[in-house]
Amino acid sequence: MKDNIYFLAIVLIAFFIILLPADRVASGLGNVSPASNFITNVEKGKILFNYSKYMTVDKVDYVTLKLTKDNISNGEDILLSKYMTAALSGKDFDIDSLNHAEQQIPNNGFATWEWRVIPRSEGSQVLELLVSIRAKIPGDGEELQDYPVLRREVIVRVDRGYWIKNYLVNNWIGLLVAFFGGVFSIIALISAIFREDIRDFIKKRIEK
């Protein structure tokens, strides 16, 4: 009976040991690559990735990433080096970085990355965040190693009112030209008809 209990305990321990690394990799955080086991210049930190779940076509939005060594409660675990690199991408977005890609992580407070984001297509879109760590590997110098790409879905909607307003603002000169061109054409047509009516009237009076 005791042998069966010991065997069951060993099986359960092995089961949890096997599952734990898979769970860490699935989170996309706290894991760099197999070489991370040999990195000497890292310490525990937190990552906060803030973005809007819902965006609007052609309307500016902002996405921020914050990394800190502080033990805050509203962030996910991540390994930090002195310098970190971050890049944001998305197939149907115009993205402008407002910071340097590589930043130093302060001992207190946050290193912050910010991007100006403009969605160009309606529907379900994906933003991809790539965070890299500058790793020191004994005997192999220093190199950048990438975390698994962090993907976040964004629902992009069309604001008809905003689209119309934006169209009018960007095309008001052409619209005015078209409007006044139409008005002058109508006036010219009415004038021509009016002149023709006067001629017909005068001609009839003369014939009488």
Return the domain boundaries, the chain.
1-28, 32-158, 159-208
Sheet hosting strand 110-119, strand order edge to edge: 76-80, 43-50, 61-68, 110-119, 93-97
Q: Compute the distance between CA of residue 42 and CA of residue 32 in angstroms, rounded to an integer.
A: 11
Q: Show the CA angle centred on residue 169, arms to residues 166 and 175, nearest 5°.
A: 115
CA quadruple 46, 52, 54, 55: dihedral positive or negative? negative
Higher-confidence residue: 120 or 137? 120
Q: With a threshold of 0.75, does the pTM exceed it?
A: no
Report the percentage of the chain scoring pLDDT > 70: 67
User: Mean pLDDT for the chain?
Assistant: 77
Instruction: Reply yes or no on whether the pLDDT at 125 is more than 80.
Output: yes
pLDDT band at 26 (very low <50, low <70, confident <90, very high): very low
Instruction: Reply yes or no on whether the pLDDT at 7 is more than 60.
Output: no
Other CB atoms within 10 A of residue 47 CB: 23
Residue 159 has, within 13 A of its CA and on its CB side, a CA count of: 14
Q: Compute the distance between CA of residue 12 and CA of residue 189 in angstroms, rounded to an integer.
A: 92
Report the percentage of the chain scoring pLDDT > 90: 42
Q: Give 30-78 pLDDT, tens digit per residue.
A: 444 434 444 557 888 999 999 999 999 999 999 999 999 998 888 889 9
Q: Give 111-123 pLDDT, tens digit per residue.
A: 999 999 999 999 9
* pLDDT for position 187: 80
In words, the CATH class of domain 32-158 is mainly beta
Q: Give 178-207 pLDDT, tens digit per residue.
A: 777 777 778 877 776 777 666 665 666 666
- Indicate the residue type of 45: G
Is the distance from CB of 41 to CB of 52 less than 8 angstroms?
no
